[in-house]
Amino acid sequence: MRGMRLLAATALAGLVAFSAAAEAKETLRLMTVFDAPTVQLWEPVLAAYNEANPDYEVKMETVAGSGAAVYPDVLRTAMASGDPPDVFFMWGGEIAGPFIRAGQVAVLDSYYDKYGWDKVVAPWTIERITRDGHKYGVPFHARGMGLWYRVDLFEKYGLSEPKTYDELAKVCSTFKENGIYCASFGGKFGWQTMRLLDYFIETTCGPEEHDKLNALQSSWNQPCVVAAYDRMAQWVKDGWLVPDFLNVAPNDARMAVYSGDAAMVFEGGWFEGVLKSDEQPMENFKFFLPPTDHTPVRYSAFPEQWMIPEASKHKDAAAALINWLTIADTQKKFPEAFTASATIGVESDCSVAPRDCEWKKILTSDSQTYPPTDQAFTKELIDGFFEVQDGVVAGKITPTDAAAQMQAKAEAWKAKQKS
């Protein structure tokens, strides 16, 4: 009995000491959009950090599955309330723009000098997140997108990965002749359909003009844009896309591919994880970069980044956390948590994630990328872009009118910025 009391007293003393130690640690809040499986993968990562760091305890807050439609609202509310997280996830490009313009995001230039992140992550990702010569974030993911296809359907009809746009058109017409849709899209929110239109613009306008269009340095009311809208209208008219898709949720668009009603879907490297969680046979899915008929052959890609709010009380600790999460040494210990990493020298396990392994090679190679338009435009302008795009898909707007309307929206937006 006495021994039991002694044991209990020792345990209590240990618990008190542990609690005191835990209380001594400051909390670092990390806000993400991770879903439940990703949060699970990240638990050992954060546990390792907390164990190694005597001063800070990292706690993750996630707005799971909300995507770019809702997460910025939650973040905005946190910032407006004066209680932002210490580190937060953000997509690349203009989605971060309002936060930066409002002075809510810390400039990380000095931390880049301190930690040498310029040499740690893929250069194109840093270039993509740099605004007015300043770096407000640290690239975390490098995401590329391409056309994922059903291998069995390609083999059944004797098709191979197309190398030109005409070959892609031939693939689609072959599928159509055999009662299969070439591709499936979910038009709700606009951004998945945009991937196809972006590709068409890249093919019809070429890399240089596409970049100028995204920067609003060139008129949208020009023949190559009309040609891109025309291709979109033609794909719908020819029945190459699963019909009535304008308000289908992007995730639901995959069903047609799984069932074999459609052959392809425009997705990113993350699709490998989706296929696994949807219990689809991985060997039956491959991807290719859509041929653009231009040199260099560019593909749609974007970084995702970590940022630090200007109002964070722990900026140095937040930067140290980002550095710990970014360096190859950390990421190599937790390969499943750091798929699609932007960090140089972190290779995926090709036996576990073969497609991610292929993407990694492409994303860290010399190949060039173009941004998805929703990361080039503000939300207000991109919704105008989606409005025109929907009109073309539905046959409400002709390609010629679409180009003119898009230019009018670009001009109206620019005028609004000046006023």
| CB-based contact 82:104 (threshold 8 Å) | no
* Nearest residue (CB) to another protein, 40 versus 247: 247
Q: How many whole angstroms separate alpha carbon 329 and alpha carbon 333? A: 7
Is residue 183 a contact point for another protein (CB under 8 A)?
no
Is residue 189 a contact point for another protein (CB under 8 A)?
yes
Number of residues forming the site for another protein (CB under 8 A): 39
From 20-28, 100-108, 152-160, 266-274, span contacting another protein (CB under 8 A):
100-108
Residue of the chain from 38, 173, 280, 378 that contacts another protein (CB under 8 A): 378
| CB-based contact 141:303 (threshold 8 Å) | yes
| CB-based contact 219:403 (threshold 8 Å) | no
- Range 353-369 burial, b when 16+ CB lie within 10 A, else e: bebbbbbbebbbeebeb
Residue of the chain from 96, 122, 241, 248 that contacts another protein (CB under 8 A): 248
Residue of the chain from 244, 279, 283, 366 that contacts another protein (CB under 8 A): 244
Is residue 252 a contact point for another protein (CB under 8 A)?
yes
**Residue 229 Cβ vs another protein, minimum distance, rounded to whole Å:** 14
* Nearest residue (CB) to another protein, 75 versus 289: 75
Q: How many whole angstroms separate alpha carbon 158 and alpha carbon 342? A: 36
Is residue 104 a contact point for another protein (CB under 8 A)?
yes
Residue of the chain from 10, 36, 101, 223 that contacts another protein (CB under 8 A): 101
The closest of 387, 410, 373 to 218, measured between CA atoms, is 410
| Amino acid at the residue 273 | G
Residue of the chain from 73, 113, 166, 208 that contacts another protein (CB under 8 A): 73
Residue of the chain from 249, 344, 350, 352 that contacts another protein (CB under 8 A): 249
Q: Which residues bind another protein (CB under 8 A)?
A: 69, 72-73, 76, 79-80, 98-99, 101-104, 187-190, 242-249, 252, 255-256, 261, 378-380, 383, 386-387, 390-391, 393-394, 396
